[in-house]
C-alpha cells in the first residue's frame, strides 16, 4: 500500500445554489437551523450567523405547509442581505411539502423511510427539481427505515443501503443526476458500515453520486466532537465524503469550526490513497484481530503490547499496513501519535479522526495520544472517548442527543446539561435525549433510556423502544427518568 498518497472517491458534480459539491470541488461543510422555520426573521438571522462562520450550505426543517411556504420569504430576505448560502429543505412524511419547498430552495432532502412514493410523488418531485435546478438528497437514517425494509433486512446497514438504492435507481431511471446520498446513525459502527456498503453497492451499479457524511445525535462538548470525528474521519480516511455535517447539541454555528477542522486536516494529506477493500476485516461481522477484548489507553500498556507510532501524513494507512504486516498476527498493538497542538479540541478531533477507523475495524487494541501540551487527565479523557465512540470500550454514560431543529419544542441544550449532571456518573448506560417524535424514537433505538419531546411542555420517556411514561409535564420528566433507571436496576455508578 502506498502510504504517501490520498484521494477522494470519484463522484459527479452536483450544484446546490451557488455551491458545487462532488467532482473536484473541496468538501463542503454545513449545518441546520434550530429556529422555528415559520419564524422567518429568526430563521434568516440564524442562517446568516451560520454562514458567517463559514458554512456554504444550511438546512431547515419543513414538517408542514406553513414551514414549506416560509421559504417564499426566507430566500428573498437572505438574498437581499447579500447571502448566497445554499438552502436545503428537510422534508418529513408529506410529499406535498417537498413540492412546495422545491419552488424556492436550492436542495430538498427526503428520507426514504418516511417519504410516500405511491402515485408517482417521487417522479413528480424529480421533475420539479430538474425544472428549477434544485438538487435532491436521499437521506437514510438508521432507526427510521420503512416497514418493508425492516421486515426484509431488519434495522440494519443492509436495510439502509437497500432503501437508498431503491430511490437512487428511480432517480437514474428518470435521468436525474443532481443527487446526494447519506447514511446516518448515532452508532459510529453502523454508520461507517452503512456508508462502506453503500459505496460498494453504487460502484457495482456504476453510480457516482456525491456523499454527505454525518454522525447523528453526537451530543455536545469534547464527547460530541470525538464521536463525530471517529465516524466521519474513518470514512474520510477511506476517501469517502463530499460534504459533511457535525451534529452537536449546541448552537448550530458551533458545528462549523469542527467540520472545517476535519476537512482541513484531511486536505493537508498529500497525493492519492485508494482503499484496499480486501485488507479490511468483514464489514458484516465485527471481530478483533487479537485476543484482547477490552482495548486499552496509554496508562495501561504492558510488555505484551507492540507500540506502533505514526509519523506520516497518512497515519491511518501507515498503522493499518504495519499491523497487517506483523509476523504474529495475534500480537496486541497500541497505536501512538504525537500531537503538538495546544488546543484540547484540536488534539481530540485529530486523534479521533486518525485512530477511529483502526478501532472500528478491530485492528488495534489500544490508543495512545501523545500530547505534551495537555494534562494527563485531558489525554485520558480523549483516549477513553475515542474507545467509547468506536464502541469497543464503554467507560461512562453515553448521550445520544440530537442537535435540535425547528421541530424541537423545548430547550434541549439546557435539558441535556441537566440530565448529564444527574446521570454522568452511571456506568455503561446510553441515554437518548431527542427533540421530537419525528425521528427521535427510531434514531435513539440504540439507547437504554430515552427522553423525547412529545408536545409543548410535554415529554415521553422510553426504556429501550418501549414507552414508559407518555406526555408528562417537562418539569417532572427528569426526576421520573431517574426513578425509572433505578426501578430497572441500572443505577450503577462508575
Nearest CA to 87 out of 40, 124, 123, 131 is that of: 40
Average predicted confidence (pLDDT) for the chain: 89
Residue 117: pLDDT above 80? Answer: no
Q: End-to-end alpha-carbon separation of the chain, Å? A: 42
* Burial profile 118-152: b = 16 or more Cβ within 10 angstroms, e = fewer: eeebbeebbebbeeeebbbbbbbbbbbbbeebbee
Residue 458's pLDDT is 86
Residue 198: pLDDT above 60? Answer: yes
C-alpha cell at 388: 467509547
Measured CA angle at 291 (ends 286, 297), to 5 deg: 85
Distance CA 375, CA 381 (A): 10
Q: Is 461 helix (H, G, I), strand (E, B) or coil?
A: strand
Q: Provide φ and ψ at 14, rounded to 5°.
A: -120, 135
Residue 119: pLDDT above 90? Answer: no
pLDDT-derived band at 472 (thresholds 50, 70, 90) equals: confident
Distance CA 282, CA 430 (A): 26
DSSP line for 49-69: HHHHTT-SEEEEEE-SHHHHH
Distance CA 410, CA 427 (A): 27
Residue 83: pLDDT above 80? Answer: yes
Asked if residues 143 and 111 have their Cβ atoms less than 8 Å apart, the reply is no
C-alpha cell at 323: 499491523
Residue 235's pLDDT is 93
What DSSP element (H or E) covers 248? none
Residue 284: pLDDT above 80? Answer: no
Neighbour count for residue 54 (Cβ, 10 Å): 14
Measured CA angle at 142 (ends 276, 6), to 5 deg: 25
Asked if residues 364 and 295 have their Cβ atoms less than 8 Å apart, the reply is yes
More confident residue, 436 or 179: 179
Q: How far is CA 45 from the centre of its chain?
A: 25
| pLDDT tens column, 392-402 | 998 888 888 77
Say if strands 243-244 and 211-213 run parallel, antiparallel, or are unpaired.
parallel
Residue 422: pLDDT above 50? Answer: yes
Reading phi first (left if > 0) and then psi (alpha if -120 to 50, else beta), residue 258 is in: alpha
Distance CA 152, CA 301 (A): 44
The pTM of this model reads: 0.91
Contacts of 388 (CB under 8 A, 6+ apart): 394, 395, 396, 398
To the nearest 10°, the Cα dihedral for 159, 161, 163, 166?
Answer: -140
Q: Over range 456-466, report the average pLDDT.
A: 86
Strand partners, 453: 459
Contacts of 299 (CB under 8 A, 6+ apart): 376, 380
pLDDT-derived band at 296 (thresholds 50, 70, 90) equals: very high
SS3 content of the chain, % helix, strand, coil (to 5): 40, 20, 40
Q: Is 42 helix (H, G, I), strand (E, B) or coil?
A: helix
Distance CA 132, CA 79 (A): 17
Residue 469's pLDDT is 87
Task: Show me where the domains of the chain are located.
Answer: 14-267, 277-389, 398-487
More confident residue, 464 or 118: 464
Q: Over range 455-472, report the average pLDDT.
A: 86
| pLDDT tens column, 318-372 | 898 899 888 887 899 999 999 999 999 999 999 999 999 999 999 999 999 999 9
Percent of the chain exceeding pLDDT 90 equals: 61
Residue 277's pLDDT is 46
What is the architecture, at CATH level 2, of domain 398-487?
2-Layer Sandwich (3.30)
Residue 283: pLDDT above 60? Answer: no
Q: How far is CA 314 from the centre of its chain?
A: 23
Residue 285: pLDDT above 60? Answer: no
pLDDT-derived band at 146 (thresholds 50, 70, 90) equals: confident
Say if strands 243-244 and 296-297 run parallel, antiparallel, or are unpaired.
unpaired
More confident residue, 441 or 184: 184
Nearest CA to 277 out of 23, 27, 9, 21 is that of: 9
Q: Over range 464-486, report the average pLDDT.
A: 88
Asked if residues 234 and 4 have their Cβ atoms less than 8 Å apart, the reply is no
Q: Is 162 helix (H, G, I), strand (E, B) or coil?
A: helix
Measured over the CA atoms of residue 452, residue 253, residue 313 and residue 379, the dihedral's sign is negative
More confident residue, 95 or 319: 319
C-alpha cell at 408: 424541537
Strand partners, 88: 59, 107
Say if strands 28-32 and 57-62 run parallel, antiparallel, or are unpaired.
parallel
Residue 206's pLDDT is 97
Record: fold of 14-267: TIM Barrel (3.20.20)
Distance CA 412, CA 403 (A): 8
Asked if residues 384 and 352 have their Cβ atoms less than 8 Å apart, the reply is no
| pLDDT tens column, 245-278 | 999 989 999 999 999 999 999 987 755 555 444 4
Q: Over range 2-28, report the average pLDDT.
A: 85
Residue 1: pLDDT above 50? Answer: no
Amino acid at each position: 500500500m502506498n502510504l504517501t498518497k490520498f484521494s477522494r472517491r470519484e463522484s459527479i458534480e452536483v450544484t446546490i445554489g451557488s455551491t458545487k459539491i462532488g467532482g473536484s470541488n473541496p468538501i463542503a461543510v454545513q449545518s441546520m437551523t434550530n429556529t422555528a422555520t415559520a419564524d422567518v426573521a429568526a430563521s434568516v438571522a440564524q442562517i446568516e450567523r451560520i454562514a458567517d462562520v463559514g458554512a456554504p450550505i444550511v438546512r431547515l426543517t419543513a414538517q408542514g405547509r406553513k414551514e414549506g411556504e416560509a421559504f417564499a420569504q426566507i430566500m428573498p430576505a437572505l438574498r437581499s442581505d447579500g447571502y448566497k448560502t445554499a438552502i436545503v429543505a428537510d422534508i418529513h412524511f408529506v410529499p406535498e411539502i417537498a413540492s412546495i419547498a422545491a419552488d424556492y430552495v436550492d436542495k430538498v432532502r427526503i428520507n426514504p423511510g418516511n417519504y410516500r412514493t405511491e402515485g408517482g410523488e417521487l417522479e413528480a418531485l424529480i421533475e420539479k427539481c430538474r425544472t428549477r435546478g434544485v438538487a435532491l438528497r436521499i437521506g437514510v437514517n438508521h432507526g427510521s427505515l420503512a416497514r418493508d425494509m425492516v421486515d426484509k433486512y431488519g434495522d440494519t446497514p443492509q436495510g439502509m443501503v437497500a432503501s437508498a438504492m431503491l430511490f437512487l435507481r428511480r432517480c437514474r431511471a428518470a435521468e436525474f443526476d443532481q443527487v446526494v446520498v447519506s447514511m446516518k446513525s448515532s452508532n459510529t459502527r453502523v454508520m461507517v458500515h452503512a456508508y462502506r456498503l453503500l459505496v460498494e453497492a453504487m460502484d457495482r451499479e456504476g453510480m457516482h453520486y456525491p456523499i454527505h457524511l454525518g454522525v447523528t445525535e453526537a451530543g455536545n462538548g469534547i464527547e460530541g466532537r470525538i464521536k463525530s470525528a471517529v465516524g466521519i474521519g474513518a470514512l474520510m480516511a477511506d476517501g469517502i465524503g463530499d460534504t459533511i455535517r457535525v451534529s452537536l447539541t449546541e448552537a448550530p454555528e458551533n458545528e462549523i469550526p469542527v467540520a472545517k477542522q476535519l476537512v482541513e486536516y484531511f486536505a493537508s494529506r498529500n497525493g492519492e490513497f485508494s482503499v484496499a477493500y480486501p485488507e479490511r476485516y468483514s464489514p458484516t461481522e465485527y471481530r478483533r484481530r487479537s485476543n484482547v477484548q477490552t482495548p486499552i489507553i496509554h496508562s495501561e500498556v504492558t510488555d505484551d503490547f507492540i507500540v506502533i507510532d505514526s509519523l506520516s501524513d497518512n497515519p491511518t494507512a501507515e498503522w493499518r499496513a504495519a499491523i497487517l504486516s506483523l509476523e504474529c498476527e495475534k500480537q496486541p498493538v497500541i497505536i501512538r501519535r504525537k500531537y503538538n497542538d495546544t488546543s484540547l479540541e484540536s488534539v481530540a478531533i485529530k486523534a479521533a479522526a486518525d485512530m477511529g477507523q483502526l478501532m472500528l475495524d478491530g485492528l488495534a487494541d489500544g490508543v495512545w495520544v501523545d500530547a505534551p501540551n495537555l494534562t494527563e487527565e485531558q489525554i485520558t479523557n480523549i483516549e477513553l472517548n475515542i474507545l467509547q465512540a468506536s464502541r469497543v470500550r464503554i467507560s461512562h454514560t453515553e448521550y445520544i442527543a440530537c442537535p435540535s431543529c425547528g421541530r424541537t419544542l423545548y430547550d434541549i441544550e439546557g435539558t441535556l446539561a441537566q440530565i448529564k449532571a444527574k446521570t454522568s456518573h452511571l456506568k455503561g448506560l446510553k441515554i437518548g435525549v431527542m427533540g421530537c417524535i419525528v425521528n427521535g424514537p427510531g434514531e435513539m433505538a440504540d439507547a437504554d433510556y430515552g427522553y423525547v419531546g412529545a408536545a409543548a411542555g410535554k415529554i415521553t420517556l422510553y426504556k429501550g423502544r418501549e414507552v414508559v411514561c407518555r406526555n408528562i409535564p417537562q418539569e417532572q420528566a427528569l426526576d421520573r427518568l431517574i426513578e425509572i433507571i433505578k426501578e430497572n436496576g441500572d443505577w450503577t455508578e462508575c
